[in-house]
Amino acid sequence: MGTRQIGSSGISVSPLTLGGNVFGWTVDKAMSFRLLDAFVDRGFNAVDTADVYSIFGGTAPGASETVIGEWLAQGGGRRDKICLFTKFGLDMGPGLKGQSAEYVEQAVEASLRRLQTDHIDLYFLHWDDGATAHEETLGAFQKLISSGKVRAAGISNCGPDRLAGAMEVAERTGLPAYQSLQTLYNLYDRAAFEGPLEDLCRQHGLAVFPYFALASGFLTGKYRQEADIAGNAREGLVKRYLDARGMRILAALDAISAATDASPAQIALAWLLSKPVVTSPIVSATSLDQLDRTLASVDLVLAPMHLEQLEAASAAD
């Protein structure tokens, strides 16, 4: 399986990252523990969450970090077996948001308490506000890294201009540079990443962690018409994929699935893993069987003709 590097941080991660966004939302604590154990037992190590999860389902912010913290608290060397990511910056309640130096310090302490650990391997700014001076946020990261509370800095949901500015500030001032980017990227959602943002990641050696790697489940092939998503927890996320281009992508996945015996989800993940700039797609699971099938994607190598077929089907209209 091998591991992949996070920028110049010296941190190595597995080729798939387990997304904790479902913990405390569509997955209860008992199943979350089983999924985490199974993930680690299979030799994977990267676990991603955020302070704001699992607010999607109306639960209180911090639920996902709390579940992971309780899993870690069981001991058995669990903390040493994982590379732990979390994020800050989105709304956690009145006055609890942003990327000011003061708030970063407050947010990391709250996450460390919920996670029941003394350090976070990779700490992400969840959503760049487009206004705060890079010197302020990177200066806050410098303090966290110097104190040992954070090993490396990452950023999520950041446009190319702001990312370029942050990297320039880090180079000029000696402040810590971002080592990784979390971004929306999958067979359907290509336009926002491919181009200037991808070029910047290559230029600076940033590790790339695509989220919604399966387009909120659309690329599994189980959602093909609006009736399939009616009343589903992901209805609002999936509906936009049910267009002509989405159907072309599903048709290509179906054809390749028939030729390879791999599932559409495995093929969609293998396409991402074929991209040299991609470090570790973030995937979630709600059952052990689903997790096992998802992790099998790391062993799937797509033929050049199948990669070309997927590129053509998913090209912008």
DSSP one-letter code for 60:
P
Residues found in the chain: 317
> Is the preceding peptide bond at 54 cis, omega within 30 degrees of 0?
yes
Q: Which amino acid is at 48?
A: D
Question: Which residue in 53, 211, 223, 241 is the catalytic one?
Answer: 53
Q: Name the residue with tokens 């591991």.
A: 3
Q: Is 185 a catalytic residue?
A: no
Nearest Cα neighbor of 15 from 213, 209, 288, 263 is: 209
3-class DSSP assignment, residue 75? coil
Q: Which amino acid is at 101?
A: A
Cβ neighbors of 191 (< 8 A, separation 6 or more) are 316
Expressed in angstroms, the distance from the first to the final Cα of the chain is 35
Rounded CA-CA distance 38/20 in Å is 14
What are residue 48's DSSP bridge partners?
A: 19, 85
Rg of the chain, C-alpha, whole Å? 19
DSSP one-letter code for 6:
E
Residues annotated as catalytic are: 53
